[in-house]
Structure 1
């Protein structure tokens, strides 16, 4: 593992701890992903989530049909229009998920030190001593002594709704297990996870393939970012290869916490986030404030956990059950945003910057050199904001890679394209995709033709960006602003001092 000093600035003054948190135009540089579902799919609640700081909405396809999610998406679009807040969309595919099927949906009580049989016969009824599963290869994958976990722990964090089993005997396709703790399973489906065992199932299910074909027909697949969700020992083993191919990484700590001993989870988090940061790829951490599913406040441990995820270098915090079916989705987003903002104030940017520069292979690319120079300049002159002109979003993402202490306003300039039959604008896609990157706040400029890239149009777009910064309170009179833009073939970093 790479050496990873605590990314914390010294010293923290007690006075600053006692000061009340100051609200800002954005709740935090770290982004918040909210899962939309039962408790959070109405236009009102989604609007509340957007105003509280949600910048990406997640749709979990492991439950609910496409019509259900489509209606939620329509509500999200309405909420975006009414709040005037940009929001990205994350589609979480089903993947090779093992599940226990309870057709009657009656709660099932399991008693410690008794036996339960797992069977692939899904026609049978789920009872306290027989649980049908959706996978016929379970008996071939496990052996006596293996650990199997069933329940909603991945979603709730409550031991009373999940059960640990130890395989005691394999009989044909059935697997008999000893129940290690008493629990009550509720609902139609529970996740089944076999600890540290490779389950031979395709990563993309038929349902996932349908989603991929649909994206292909829309012609957007080549623009869609694909994030890899690391959730088992296999993902840990092949992490470096996965990081090379993926556009971003989601650390599914609920699942990882089953495959790894509790004392190892934090090491994996630190190492994985470090590697993502150095590669300049967004990293998302899950399972941080489980208790807020039912409570208005997080536990002290959870609040500390959110802050540590920020200090470790996370781009975004993903909320699952807390917003999906939690009682306080808007309050949860607001609380997590406040914790992130406080952690960002003491993030050791100087140490991080040196480490990021050191990790870039020499000679440094032209774009990387401009991005790191822009951040260095902004920090030296104490700029209030960095404004970056971009069409693909790559330049702005590279600036954000160096974690500047001030927000990066990414001015995405749409390009006019034609396929001889119709004209289309590109840009909105790129703007929304930056909503998962820490410190990056997109602004969509007026569309223009590539030939119109004159200094006059650049100046008029810069004025719009500065006015936006002033209106939101991030830029004030006499502030300094660093601007990064392309002029012809050259890239330019300039410092502007604002008058009254």
Structure 2
């Protein structure tokens, strides 16, 4: 039966036109306007254009409204000068920030420690799980500071690049890597600030590189430098990174993101450092180099999550390949059950403008339709003029996209034979919740793995993760569709399930008469023991 013949009702409250971002047979495009607001319109009147090809369950009412249902896709905000105040952080948490990212390329340990303290206090105050992600700099080569904070480089200018931390000007630029001049060659392209500024190496001499500007622009302090054709000998984890990792361990951060991952051993090395301190912090691999892309299958096996860092990746590979590469990385991460983050320049224009471009809105929506667990704001919330508005806009785009586009991973025709016990239970829970039209899926979990497995199947039903563990409570803030709730540890499985249902009711996810699907393990709150599914009618 053609989707165009199915019932579709669009209810509009305070806007006249909604734009839908539609997925057409695995191809993505911005399409059609929903111009028909009245439910009484006949099927023949509904001019869906190409939207009828969109794989959505049109049998359910679509409610497009600012206050629509909970957002499943998580939002990461990077904090910086624009959001360092307590009031700004309070607003970010109140408006829906799920993960606070600390960019260790900037700021002191004292500054980051204060951000951690404030975010955790506000998280407690607002009773919301907010994870802390420490993003280490990695082997990133950066320019030094420049006079006045910014200089203008024009196409055709001759520039001397010194392998030292000088104060740069329009004729001389410092690069904070002592071997830079020795490891680049004549004719190679130097890309600065994600390729916004481009130069060609004319000659090298000792500690200096003579270059000619090909694409000019404004250069500010400490911008990233990439030379795709060069092979730098900088270690994957620098001494600064090691100090930053120790800082993160000391402050019990929830995730550590590793930059410029080139091979699986880069992640294994960081994990070893963490385990030597007798702690367990999930490690996110940032894919932003050609080498990392080539070795992605091996990296995915050892990483706890993936970040598609499109800025540097778009310098390392042809920019026209970035969209397809993003979709591939997200799809493979989804299949492995690892959370995946889409990052860089998502609402870049909102650094200075109050609204994003239409292309940026489409970019955010497409990442969600691709299956990303989280979407990230960087400059928008670190140095932008509209940090709170950027978060609100991303939240609105996500909610609207989720309301019309849902990629279910519980297809009845899917081959689910040979799964682990945990994945089999996760799949069964989602299918059962769908069949019963359950109000919630409730998982009692100590490590968070059960909730994460359920999440990978992308159920429409809200996933409520009940845990007594503070670290698990925070970490689950990153996982798609999961709302973590805390309860004290209890003695028996029955007591835990009773307490879990009460918590879900108190949080507004279930009411008397609703069906809920619960999954837990015996013994209760022991990692790796998930072996029980039950259905309850809430009383």
Shared fold per TM-score greater than 0.5: yes
Find the counterpart in structure 2 of residue 422 from structure 1.
none
Verify the 8 A CA contact 1:284 1:318 in the aligned structure 2.
Answer: yes
Matches within 5 A, 1:55-204: 55-102=98-145, 104-122=147-165, 124-151=166-193, 153=194, 162-186=196-220, 188-204=221-237
SS at match of 2:442: strand
Which of 282, 299, 324 aligns to 2:382? It is: 324
Find the counterpart in structure 2 of residue 246 from structure 1.
303
Find the counterpart in structure 2 of residue 410 from structure 1.
465
SS at match of 1:113: coil
1:298 aligns with 2:356: yes
Which of 52, 65, 70 aligns to 1:21? It is: 65
Distance 2:475 2:347 in 1: 25
1:5 aligns with 2:26: yes
Find the counterpart in structure 2 of residue 496 from structure 1.
536
Shift of 1:42: 1.4
Shift of 1:127: 2.1
Distance 1:9 1:461 in 2: 40
Distance 1:454 1:242 in 2: 37
Which of 315, 340, 343 aligns to 1:286? It is: 343
Verify the 8 A CA contact 1:215 1:221 in the aligned structure 2.
Answer: no
Verify the 8 A CA contact 1:278 1:356 in the aligned structure 2.
Answer: no
Distance 1:100 1:459 in 2: 56
SS at match of 2:159: strand
SS at match of 2:209: strand
Mark the CA change 1:330 to 1:283 in structure 2 (over 3 Å): closer, same or farther: same
Distance 1:221 1:119 in 2: 42
Verify the 8 A CA contact 1:44 1:79 in the aligned structure 2.
Answer: no
Matches within 5 A, 1:260-271: 260-271=317-328
Matches within 5 A, 1:345-424: 345-350=403-408, 352-354=409-411, 358=415, 362-412=417-467, 414=468
Mark the CA change 1:391 to 1:37 in structure 2 (over 3 Å): closer, same or farther: same
Shift of 1:342: 2.0
Distance 1:12 1:494 in 2: 27
Verify the 8 A CA contact 2:444 2:497 in the aligned structure 1.
Answer: no
Verify the 8 A CA contact 1:356 1:402 in the aligned structure 2.
Answer: no
Verify the 8 A CA contact 2:350 2:384 in the aligned structure 1.
Answer: yes
Which of 94, 106, 123 aligns to 1:51? It is: 94
Shift of 1:317: 0.6
Shift of 1:82: 2.7
Distance 2:153 2:497 in 1: 68
Shift of 1:175: 1.6
Tell me, which stretches of 5 or more residues in structure 2 are unaligned? 1-24, 29-52, 253-274, 524-528
Shift of 1:436: 0.8
Find the counterpart in structure 2 of residue 417 from structure 1.
none
Cα offsets for 1:10-66 (capped at 9, x unmatched): 3687x988x64241464x100001111111121211111111110110111101111
Distance 1:75 1:12 in 2: 42
Shift of 1:244: 0.9
Deviates more, 1:32-41 or 1:478-487: 478-487
Verify the 8 A CA contact 1:349 1:405 in the aligned structure 2.
Answer: no
Mark the CA change 1:332 to 1:106 in structure 2 (over 3 Å): closer, same or farther: closer
Deviates more, 1:488-497 or 1:63-72: 488-497
SS at match of 1:302: helix
Distance 2:108 2:457 in 1: 40
Say how many residue pairs are matched. 461
SS at match of 1:354: coil
Distance 1:278 1:355 in 2: 16
Verify the 8 A CA contact 1:410 1:442 in the aligned structure 2.
Answer: yes
Distance 1:440 1:243 in 2: 22
Distance 1:356 1:408 in 2: 23
Cα offsets for 1:451-489 (capped at 9, x unmatched): x2242x12431332232342xxx3345432211122457
Tell me, which stretches of 5 or more residues in structure 1 are unaligned? 155-161, 415-426
Which of 454, 471, 475 aligns to 1:433? It is: 475
Which of 517, 520, 523 aligns to 1:482? It is: 517
Cα offsets for 1:242-272 (capped at 9, x unmatched): 1111110111111111112221001110100
Cα offsets for 1:205-224 (capped at 9, x unmatched): 11221233455667876321
Distance 2:248 2:351 in 1: 33
Verify the 8 A CA contact 2:369 2:407 in the aligned structure 1.
Answer: no
Cα RMSD (Å) of the superposition?
A: 2.6
Distance 2:536 2:91 in 1: 36
Mark the CA change 1:286 to 1:32 in structure 2 (over 3 Å): closer, same or farther: same
Cα offsets for 1:368-403 (capped at 9, x unmatched): 111100001111122221111111111111001111
SS at match of 2:191: strand
